[in-house]
Amino acid sequence: MNSPIYNMRPRRQGSIPDVVFVLLVANGLLYALERFSPNFMIATFGLWPVDSGYFRPWQLLTYGFLHDVYSLYHIGFNMLGLWMFGRHIEPMMGTQRFITYYLTCVVGAGFIQLLVAGLQGGEYYTVGASGGLMGILLAYAIAFPNQTIMLLIPPIPMKAKYFVLLFALASLVLGVSGRAAGVAHFAHLGGMLFGFLLLNYWNRPRRRG
């Protein structure tokens, strides 16, 4: 990996690395449980605002394994992105760092979402793996900035570094303007932010005694 943000050596890469596989299975199983008991799963494990009466500390992590029970597109898009980009990043980070990185992005995205929810008011909940996915996408763009990504809608090829920048700007504009309601735009930005901070922490020079 040529990017200075990484201080890691590439490792043997299979079609689906271990952590990515586990995350795909876990998200699929929990989605099935949501279909069986949506009210209980969302009330207990979705991310609720702190003053809503439903908030529990573990929701900062568990919300990232739930999705909109009425939308196959929501979980399908997130799992496709996790597979597409995570299978390149996990072998380069290694199992321990990859799971640490992914969960940090999920929790960080949830934390930012709680801050925004506290400012906006309301008792809406947040679910989805997008915070973790956005962190992985950022890591991919840093590792492979000139790799071409084919967008789905519209089908336009774009370099990874420009795609991430465009996505971040779009999330910021949509989040501030309030357009595209129902999407946690600031959670996307939070996942990228905490991913960037963790990568820089890992990459900082270590003092030798």
Q: DSSP state, 65? A: G
Q: DSSP state, 207? A: P
Question: Is the residue at 103 inside a domain?
Answer: yes
- Give the mean pLDDT of 43-59: 94
How far is Cα 33 from Cα 59, in angstroms, rounded to an integer?
Answer: 16
Asked if residue 78 has pLDDT above 90, the reply is yes
CATH number of 162's domain: 1.20.1540.10
Question: Is the residue at 4 inside a domain?
Answer: no
Question: Is the residue at 131 inside a domain?
Answer: yes
- What SS3 state is found at 149? strand
Question: Is the residue at 10 inside a domain?
Answer: no
Higher pLDDT, 203 or 27: 27
Cα three-residue angle 126-30-112, rounded to 5 degrees: 25
How far is Cα 24 from Cα 109, in angstroms, rounded to an integer?
Answer: 19
The structure's pTM equals: 0.89
- What SS3 state is found at 69? coil
Question: Is the residue at 208 inside a domain?
Answer: no
Residue 27 near residue 129 (C-beta atoms within 8 A): yes
How many structural domains is the chain composed of? Answer: 1
178 exposure class (CB count in 10 Å sphere: 0-12, 13-18, 19+): exposed
What integer pLDDT is reported at residue 208 of this predicted model? 61
Question: Is the residue at 109 inside a domain?
Answer: yes
How far is Cα 43 from Cα 20, in angstroms, rounded to an integer?
Answer: 26
- How do residues 90-135 score in pLDDT, each as one tens digit? 999 999 999 999 999 999 999 999 998 888 776 789 999 999 999 9
Amino acid, single-letter form, for residue 159: K
- Give residue 54's domain range: 18-203
Token pair of 125, please? 């909940």
Question: Is the residue at 175 inside a domain?
Answer: yes
Higher pLDDT, 98 or 205: 98
Question: Is the residue at 13 inside a domain?
Answer: no
What integer pLDDT is reported at residue 189 of this predicted model? 93
How far is Cα 60 from Cα 47, in angstroms, rounded to an integer?
Answer: 6
